[in-house]
Structures are given as C-alpha cells and as structure tokens.
C-alpha cells in the first residue's frame, strides 16, 4: 500500500498534522482510540491552550527552536478553531483555557478536521526503512502484516509519560535510526518524593493545600502546593519539577505575598485577646498553622512580642529541602528532553538528515509549563509540519 504521508501516533500533534498535511494521509496508532491524553487531560475538560503562551515558557536545549511554530500557529489560532466548532470554553486561572464540557469535544473536533485522512487504530509499528525516495514501514493490523510506503513519515508518538496509557519510545528509536541525536529524557511536571525526616514533616501535613512560592535555582513559581504521603505535589511543585535535577534543593515560601508579618502585627493591635493560632489559621490552613506556630508561643496574640511574630513568619519560609526523587514517568504529565532540535528545521519540523522525515509534539526536545502549553506545542508543531508536507 502506498500513501503520501504516514503519521505515527494519533495523539494531539499527529491529529493536528493530519488535518493540515493535504491528501493521501494515513495515521496509525497502537491504541484503541485516538487522542487518549486529550480525553483525560485537565480533569476531563482539557486545558487546551494558554493565553500567555510565549517561547520563554518552554524548556529545550535550544530555547529559540519553538519560536517559529508558536508564532505561526498561535493560541488564538487554536481558540478560533475551538470557537468555529461551537465548543464552549472558559479561562480558569493564569490564562488556562478549558472546555466547559468534555475534553472529547476536542478529539471530535480534530477528527472532523482530519476527515480526509485515514486512521488505523490498534496497529503495531514494526521495521522502518528508507529506500532513497520513500519510507517503508511494516505495520501489523488485526493480525495482518502490511507494508506501507510513504513519501513523508511523521514521528508523533509522544514521550515516555504514563506507560500505562501506551507511551513508548518509538519516535526516539526511529529518529536515532536515521541519525538523530537525543537529549536525555526525564519526567517533567511530576510530584516530588522524600525520605527520612523531611518526609515525616511533609507526611504529617498530607492533604493540606496552600498557596506558595517554590524556588529551585533561579526559577520560582507562585501557585498552589499540596502536601502528600510521599512528599509534595500541586501545580507549584509540578512546575518547578521541570527545572529540578537530582540533588538540587527546593525552597518553599508559604507566605508568598509577604503580608503575614504586617497582618500579625495589625491583629495583635486590634484583636490581641485572640489566640495566635486563631489568627494564623485565617492565613494558612489550620493544620499547617498549628505545625508552624512555635510551641512556646504565648496563648494570647497581645503577649506575642516581635520576636515570636518573626519566628512564625520564618516558620513559613524555613522549608528548604532536597527531594529524594520524583514519582517518575508513572505520573509525569510530560517528558523533558527527546529528539534533539539541532537535527530539525524549526520552521517545518523536517529532519535535516533525511528529507521527508518529520518529528512533532512531545517526542521533540520542547516541553512547556503546566497550563495548556504542552498542547499548544503539539498544535503548533503539528500544524507547521502539516503545512510543509
């Protein structure tokens, strides 16, 4: 069988590419349904893009690589598509755009957009070769082996995150086979795990969520933090995890607005008869407030000197700790690293080594922040390749 374009992977990037790659497109995937990560994303409502998309919010060994695709197919282009399909949406927070209804609306929209393309599900990908003009790919579908010849081959099988959902390193393997280098991969947007005394401290607060500034190296995020039985999670932690390397410490500031000291001083004046815990619990979750309050704090706020109030505030800042690790690919939302962008055109996503070979989406060494950035990269890179094919 012969096609113009064979796309490996019917995820976000592969479906978007199929919608723009012209006639003669076959998309194959070993899953039973297309766009499974879209379906489960954003708690079932898909955080499909972010109003604040800019290249600085993506990590890559080459920070300039993502610029071209992101500028040519923007968050507004994708939002326009969502609106043209009559899908209701809302901004949740920090520019994050979600469906009002189900995430499957986005999958249905992409299916409708790529109506001219053929989609083979439950299909295993075997040997891939290039005979100088065309790619030859062995596929197994319903027990039948089929050789497909294609002028263009698009690697869109994503990264290693959530192997239970069918994530594999197929795109990496094929890219390497054709001479591409890989940037070492690691889990991103992932909870931290701790051991020993730090874990005891965190575990005691499991279930508590609070706003925090989380810092690692020179990078900081102000978002919600969640204490867990294994360590730390929540958006602020997922964000910083992409900037964390083994052995690095992270610092939590549980008074991210820096208002607590003034608030405590004002309360001491106005409501001095109250217990310090009563007031502290207006700023922090009760269990966290109780853990931070010094044991020797006087029972009435009026009797707390500046030294005690300073110790309370320090208790909010005194959280520098070194994670033992992360929860790994099992729960990571994305994979950092991947196909080295040096081997790809940033305009077309085409290989510099083998004409007709393309790599898009998460398989490429471009990883976005939490909040719709990774889908936008899938849409933009998928679109860029589709235009070029």
Among 5, 18, 20, 30, binds ligand FDA (CB under 6 A): 30
The answer to whether 309 and 264 have CB atoms below 8 angstroms apart is yes
Residue 103 Cβ vs ligand FDA, minimum distance, rounded to whole Å: 8
The CA angle 63-59-162, to the nearest 5 degrees, is: 145
Does residue 235 interact with ligand FDA by CB under 6 A?
no
Nearer to ligand FDA, 276 or 361 (CB): 361
In terms of Cβ atoms closer than 10 Å to its own Cβ (0-12, 13-18, 19+), residue 252 is buried
3-class secondary-structure state, position 60: coil
Does residue 374 interact with ligand FDA by CB under 6 A?
yes
Phi, psi values for residue 339, rounded to 5°: -65, 125
Of 318, 320, 313, 308, residue with least CA distance to 283: 313
Burial code (b: 16+ CB inside 10 Å, e: under 16) for 138-158 equals ebeeeeeeeebebbbbbbbbb
Nearer to ligand FDA, 124 or 271 (CB): 124
Residue 318 Cβ vs ligand FDA, minimum distance, rounded to whole Å: 33
Does residue 88 interact with ligand FDA by CB under 6 A?
no
Q: Count of residues for the chain?
A: 389
Q: Which two tokens stand for residue 322?
A: 């070194």
Nearer to ligand FDA, 9 or 198 (CB): 9
Residue 214 Cβ vs ligand FDA, minimum distance, rounded to whole Å: 20
- Please identify, among the stretches 7-15, 136-144, 191-199, 205-213, the one whose residues bind ligand FDA according to the rule CB under 6 A: 7-15
Does residue 263 interact with ligand FDA by CB under 6 A?
no
Distance CA 155, CA 158 (A): 8
Cα atoms found within 13 Å of the Cα of residue 142, Cβ hemisphere only: 2
Nearer to ligand FDA, 47 or 228 (CB): 47
Distance CA 276, CA 81 (A): 53
- Please identify, among the stretches 27-35, 75-83, 201-209, 336-344, the one whose residues bind ligand FDA according to the rule CB under 6 A: 27-35
Does residue 119 interact with ligand FDA by CB under 6 A?
no
Q: Which two tokens stand for residue 46?
A: 């898909």
Name the residue with the smallest CB distance to ligand FDA.
Answer: 11
Among 3, 6, 7, 13, binds ligand FDA (CB under 6 A): 13
Distance CA 357, CA 349 (A): 9
- Please identify, among the stretches 42-50, 84-92, 206-214, 297-305, the one whose residues bind ligand FDA according to the rule CB under 6 A: 42-50
Give residues 131-160 in contact with ligand FDA (rule: CB under 6 A): 156-158
Does residue 20 interact with ligand FDA by CB under 6 A?
no
Does residue 10 interact with ligand FDA by CB under 6 A?
yes
Give residues 291-330 in contact with ligand FDA (rule: CB under 6 A): none
Distance CA 17, CA 109 (A): 13
Match 């009760």 to its residue by tokens.
286
Count of residues that bind ligand FDA according to CB under 6 A: 36
Does residue 349 interact with ligand FDA by CB under 6 A?
no
Q: How many helices (H) and strands (E) does the chain have?
A: 13, 21
* Spacing of C-alpha 211 from chain mean position: 20
Does residue 170 interact with ligand FDA by CB under 6 A?
yes
Does residue 223 interact with ligand FDA by CB under 6 A?
no
| Host H or E run for residue 171 | helix 170-177
Distance CA 253, CA 245 (A): 20
Residue 257 Cβ vs ligand FDA, minimum distance, rounded to whole Å: 27
Residue 163 Cβ vs ligand FDA, minimum distance, rounded to whole Å: 10
Of 126, 182, 128, residue with least CA distance to 153: 128
- Please identify, among the stretches 74-82, 126-134, 288-296, 359-367, the one whose residues bind ligand FDA according to the rule CB under 6 A: 359-367
- Please identify, among the stretches 136-144, 233-241, 251-259, 374-382, the one whose residues bind ligand FDA according to the rule CB under 6 A: 374-382
Nearer to ligand FDA, 6 or 240 (CB): 6
Q: At what angle do helices 75-84 and 104-113 cross, to 10 degrees?
A: 90
Binding site for ligand FDA (CB under 6 A): 9-14, 29-31, 36-37, 40-42, 46-47, 125, 156-158, 161-162, 166-168, 170, 333-334, 361-363, 372-375, 378
């Amino acid at each position: 069988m012969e096609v113009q374009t064979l796309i490996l992977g019917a995820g976000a990037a592969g479906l978007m590419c199929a919608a723009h790659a012209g006639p003669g497109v076959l998309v194959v995937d070993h899953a039973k349904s297309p766009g499974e990560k879209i379906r489960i994303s954003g708690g079932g409502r898909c955080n499909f893009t972010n109003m604040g998309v800019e290249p600085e919010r993506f990590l890559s060994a080459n920070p300039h690589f993502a610029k071209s695709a992101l500028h040519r197919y923007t968050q507004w282009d994708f939002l326009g598509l969502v609106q043209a399909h009559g899908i209701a949406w809302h901004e949740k927070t920090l520019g994050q755009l979600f469906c009002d209804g189900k995430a499957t609306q986005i999958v249905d929209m992409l299916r409708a957009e790529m109506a001219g393309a053929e989609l083979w599900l439950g299909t295993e990908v075997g040997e891939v070769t290039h005979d100088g003009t065309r790619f030859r790919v062995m596929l197994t579908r319903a027990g039948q082996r089929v050789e497909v010849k294609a002028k263009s081959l698009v690697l869109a099988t994503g990264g290693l995150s959530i192997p239970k959902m069918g994530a594999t390193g197929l795109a990496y393997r094929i890219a390497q086979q054709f001479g591409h280098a890989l940037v070492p991969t690691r889990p991103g947007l992932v909870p931290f795990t701790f051991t020993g005394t730090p874990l005891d401290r965190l575990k005691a607060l499991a279930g508590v969520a609070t706003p925090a500034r989380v810092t690692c190296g020179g990078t900081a995020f102000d978002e919600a933090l969640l204490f867990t039985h294994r360590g730390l999670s929540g958006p602020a932690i997922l964000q910083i995890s992409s900037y964390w390397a083994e052995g690095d410490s992270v610092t939590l500031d549980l008074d991210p607005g820096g208002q607590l000291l003034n608030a405590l001083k004002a309360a001491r004046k106005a409501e001095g008869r109250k217990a310090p815990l009563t007031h502290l619990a207006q700023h922090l979750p009760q269990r966290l407030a109780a853990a931070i309050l010094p044991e020797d704090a006087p029972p009435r706020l009026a009797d707390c000197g500046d030294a005690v109030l300073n110790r309370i505030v320090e208790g909010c800042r005194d959280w520098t700790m070194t994670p033992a690790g992360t929860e790994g690919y099992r729960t990571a939302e994305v994979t950092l690293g991947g196909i080295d962008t040096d081997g790809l055109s940033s305009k077309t996503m085409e290989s510099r080594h083998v004409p007709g070979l393309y790599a898009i989406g998460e398989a490429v060494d471009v990883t976005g922040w939490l909040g719709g950035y990774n889908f936008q990269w899938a849409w933009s890179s998928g679109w860029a390749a589709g235009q070029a094919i």
